Amino acid sequence: MPNAAPLTPQQAADSLCAIGRRFHARGWVLGTSGNLSVVTCPDPLRLSITGSSVDKGALEPLHILDIDDTCAVHGGHGNPSAETLLHFEIVRRRGARSVLHTHSVWSTLLSDSHGLDGGIAVEGYEMLKGLDGVRTHEHREWVPIVPNDQDMTRLARVVGSTLDRYPDAHGILLQRHGLYTWGASLPEAVRHIEILEFLFETIGRTATYGMYRSRGGQHGTAQDS
């Protein structure tokens, strides 16, 4: 999708609040976790981003910061999260206009269980077609998993090199931490979050059901003949 016309900081704040509340309702950004951003000017870079330690279930426009690429705050109350560096990295390497980061149960679970594999493959699902540029369910999406790190400069470097190594990836998992995805617009990034979270939940639940099937189980119950 071509990049959309940038939102103004005010539009960005309103839109990010609506998305933050929506994701909070789904349990994807509990406990002030997660951060959401939109590029309001690509050059010189201006980013609207949720401030640090904000309850996404009570997000108000004043919690959205208007920052430049030095993290100087030009609008909104509060401080940028240290993870803002990862947003910059993704904006620069992918030309993204929006970056969304969620902490869901299923992304945490898979990023943990598949961490030693360095990633998780998702393939064969119609839902994959909602990822930018994917035309068929016969697509294999490799979602890289990066070890978590409290040194944000180092983590941003690792995320950057991972983006370069997997140029077709639509998202990255931080181990036992959560998901980063992005898009050419906020709606595209929201779509990518919903698709990847859906697929992670589907993979997680299918594994349990598959265990049952692999034991010769017919669906149904003990009462079935």
Which residues of the chain form contacts with a copy of itself (CB under 8 A)? 22, 26-27, 30-33, 55, 57, 103, 105-106, 108-110, 112-116, 120-121, 124-127, 130, 135-138, 148, 150, 174, 176-178, 187, 190-192, 194-195, 197-198, 201-215, 217, 219-223
Helix (H, G, I), strand (E, B) or coil at 222: coil
Q: How far apart are CA 39 and CA 98, in angstroms?
A: 6
Least CB distance to a copy of itself at residue 96 (A) = 17
Least CB distance to a copy of itself at residue 128 (A) = 9
Cβ closest to a copy of itself, residue 78 vs residue 187: 187
Helix (H, G, I), strand (E, B) or coil at 75: strand
Q: Are 97 and 38 in contact (CB under 8 A)?
A: yes
Q: Are 212 and 205 in contact (CB under 8 A)?
A: no
Least CB distance to a copy of itself at residue 35 (A) = 12
> What torsion, rounded to 10 degrees, do the Cα atoms 39, 41, 43, 46 define?
-70
Cβ closest to a copy of itself, residue 69 vs residue 204: 204
Cβ closest to a copy of itself, residue 89 vs residue 194: 194
Cβ closest to a copy of itself, residue 46 vs residue 98: 98
Cβ closest to a copy of itself, residue 94 vs residue 176: 176
Can you state the percent helix, strand and coil of the chain, rounding each to 5?
A: 45, 25, 35
Cβ closest to a copy of itself, residue 126 vs residue 164: 126
Least CB distance to a copy of itself at residue 131 (A) = 9
Least CB distance to a copy of itself at residue 83 (A) = 10
Least CB distance to a copy of itself at residue 222 (A) = 6
What single string gives the DSSP state of each residue in 115-168?
Answer: GGGTEEEEES-GGGGGSTT---SS-EEEEEEE---S-HHHHHHHHHHHHHH-TT
